[in-house]
A and B are shown apart, each in its own frame.
Chain A
Amino acid sequence: MKWTLLVIVAVLALAASVVLGPAAVPLNELLRSDIVWNLRAPRALLAFLVGGSLGVAGASLQALVRNPLADPFLLGLSGGAGLGAVIAIALHLSGPWALPIAAFVGALAALGLVYRLGLIGGAALDPRILLLGGVAIGAFAAAITTAIVSLADAAELRNAFLWLWGGLSGASWDAVLVVALYAPIPLAVLLAASRPLDLLALGEEPARYLGADVEAVKRRVYLAASLLTAAAVAVSGVIGFVGLVVPHLARLTWGHRHRALLPAAFIGGGALLAIADTLARTVVAPRELPVGVVTALIGVPVFALLLRRWTIA
């Protein structure tokens, strides 16, 4: 029943983002419209894939760092990706893939550094060090980003700024295809780790005694969730709060068992981002808001409510 409802919401979200938009497309011409086929449809699908990926990455990272308020971008990836993107903009790299690739490389660099920091003090990948390392690396990357942006001219600055807040206006069928081929691999790795992730909520030693190969699980989950987030940030910029709020909402309905939680976070995250992107395109049409602004405006109040609920419980 709740699955049916979730799928209906997701289908409606996708339908709305195809039907709605600044250019009026009559319903009977929907399937023949270039705007729909070349702009709205790939954009809706990309939003769905990115939102779903962020939802799953967030849910798994929350279990990994054992903090229910963790966001996939907390581990420094957004800083690295932002730096990569801003460098690409400053160097006037052109071509549709220059920015995504630069952002992806930046995110991978941040991932590598944070991972390396996490290994300090043994091979244990201490979640506390991961979190602090992520914040530190993110701040470092943000400092360099700001230095570059402050030297850039106005048009570049606007581009960089907009990119940092996330947007799906660069969506194309190519991008959809790339994400659709790439994402299933880390998604499958995370889904396969559902049971050990359940156990990890008890702590590492209890999880080990219940049969989890804790070190291997932590490595796999950290890398898979980060690679998923890196791809999402590469194609759409930094879209905050989806990876934080969606897992929470999914937990309220599906509980804490990751076998159900992760798929629910995927569909829910996809639906939420499709809706947020539709709002970003339509509320100030013909102009457009960065979708990260919309998710933050929705996400922060929800986050505050969740925080309240969490600290009271």
Chain B
Amino acid sequence: MSPLLRLTNVTYRYPGAPRDALSGVSLSVGPREFHAVLGPNGSGKTTLVRVALGSLAPLEGRADIEDRPAQGWRRQELARMVGVVPQREDNLFPQRVRETVLLGRYPHLSMWGRERAEDHAAVDRALAACDVTDLADRWLWTLSGGEYQRVRVARALAQDPKLLVLDEPGMSLDLKHEMGLFELIRGLVDTQDLGVLMITHDLNLAARFADSLLLLESGRPVASGAPADVLTQETVQAVFSWPVSMQTIDGRPQMIPLRQTKESRA
């Protein structure tokens, strides 16, 4: 089966920038696969998503979605294939949860057509899958951070995508909501044939939930593959410039940052 999304040796440099934002990055995400992209701030994670989804054209290499160049997709077409939960978005006008999730159906509607029964059914399915059916009539601004993230995932699911892309979805969530969100995503991968590409800072959660990790440093791939192969003590210390100790839970590597000692400072 061909991958949903594939980057082949991608290099990208922002106009006028002194160095490449991405350099020689390859990645392939198939159905029922959960990939996480890790790296320090400014390592090129968000640029990777922009190139992968055709917002930016790679300088070298290829970015394909279902074996077609990502830039060759019409936006509406792409939105039926890939659902994105961006890091940030505005809420210019007060909205209710159901209306927001209904926005996910827009790529399926014609310019003049009304929403059909199947669109409302898709919204109901997405609300149920993210366990937010009870919130359907609430105003967005009354939701907690965790509820709001689940609603945004529901909106992306309402697009009926084959691939879900999430940019730092766990930011500023407390333990319960962050774990809940990762459990939700993992469940979607396992039950709905979805491929997932997630950008995250959280090494430990990525290692616990994802099938495959890609670790970036200054735009270059440092390591990729199964979590246990990527997150070794040497690699993590080198990339994040901080002493760590590694442990294992459920067969997955977990990182514990150490206090700085005199020796490590030297």
**8 Å CB interface, B82-138 against A:** 82-84, 86, 88-95, 99, 103-104, 106-107, 109, 111-112
In the complex, what distance in Å separates the CA atom of A153 from the CA atom of B89? 54
Residue B154 interfacial (CB < 8 Å):
no
Contact with B along A199-213 (1 / 0, CB 8 A): 101110110111111
Q: What bracket does the count of chain A residues touching chain B fall in?
A: 20 to 34
CB of B94 within 8 A of CB of A202, answer no
Using CB atoms and an 8 Å cutoff, list the residues of chain B in contact with chain A: 53, 55, 74-76, 78-80, 82-84, 86, 88-95, 99, 103-104, 106-107, 109, 111-112, 141, 159
Given known pairs A210-B159, A211-B75, A255-B99, the reply for A68 and B93 (CB within 8 Å) is: yes
Residues in chain A near residue B53, CB distance under 8 A: 209
Question: Could you list 21 examples of A-B contacts with CB < 8 Å?
Answer: A63-B92, A192-B111, A192-B112, A201-B91, A201-B93, A202-B91, A202-B92, A203-B86, A206-B89, A208-B55, A209-B83, A210-B106, A210-B107, A211-B80, A211-B107, A212-B75, A212-B106, A256-B94, A256-B99, A313-B94, A313-B141
B53, B55, B80, B89 — which one has the most chain A CB atoms within 10 A of its CB? B89
Residue of B nearest to A206 (CB): B89
CB of A210 within 8 A of CB of B103, answer yes
Residue of A nearest to B77 (CB): A211
In the complex, what distance in Å separates the CA atom of A66 from the CA atom of B90? 9
In the complex, what distance in Å separates the CA atom of A201 from the CA atom of B89? 9
Residue A158 interfacial (CB < 8 Å):
no
Residues in chain B near residue A116, CB distance under 8 A: none
Residues in chain B near residue A199, CB distance under 8 A: 103, 106
Contact with B along A177-211 (1 / 0, CB 8 A): 00000000000000010010011011101101111
Residues in chain B near residue A213, CB distance under 8 A: 74-76
Given known pairs A203-B90, A255-B99, A313-B94, the reply for A211 and B111 (CB within 8 Å) is: no
Residue of B nearest to A214 (CB): B75
CB of B103 within 8 A of CB of A202, answer yes
Given known pairs A192-B112, A255-B99, the reply for A211 and B93 (CB within 8 Å) is: no
CB of B75 within 8 A of CB of A202, answer no
CB of A209 within 8 A of CB of B86, answer yes
Residue A92 interfacial (CB < 8 Å):
no
Q: Other than A201-B90, A211-B78, give 19 A-B pairs with Cβ distance below 8 A.
A: A68-B92, A195-B106, A198-B103, A201-B92, A202-B89, A202-B90, A202-B103, A203-B86, A203-B90, A205-B55, A205-B86, A209-B83, A210-B106, A212-B76, A213-B74, A214-B75, A256-B93, A256-B99, A313-B141
Kindly provide the distance from the CB of B123 to the nearest chain A CB, expressed in whole angstroms.
Answer: 14
4 closest residue pairs by CB, A with B: A211-B79, A211-B107, A209-B84, A256-B93
CB of A209 within 8 A of CB of B103, answer no
**Which listed residue, B91, B106, B111, touches A198 by the CB 8 Å rule?**
B106
In the complex, what distance in Å separates the CA atom of A63 from the CA atom of B92? 9
**8 Å CB interface, A29-85 against B:** 63, 66, 68
Residue of A nearest to B50 (CB): A205
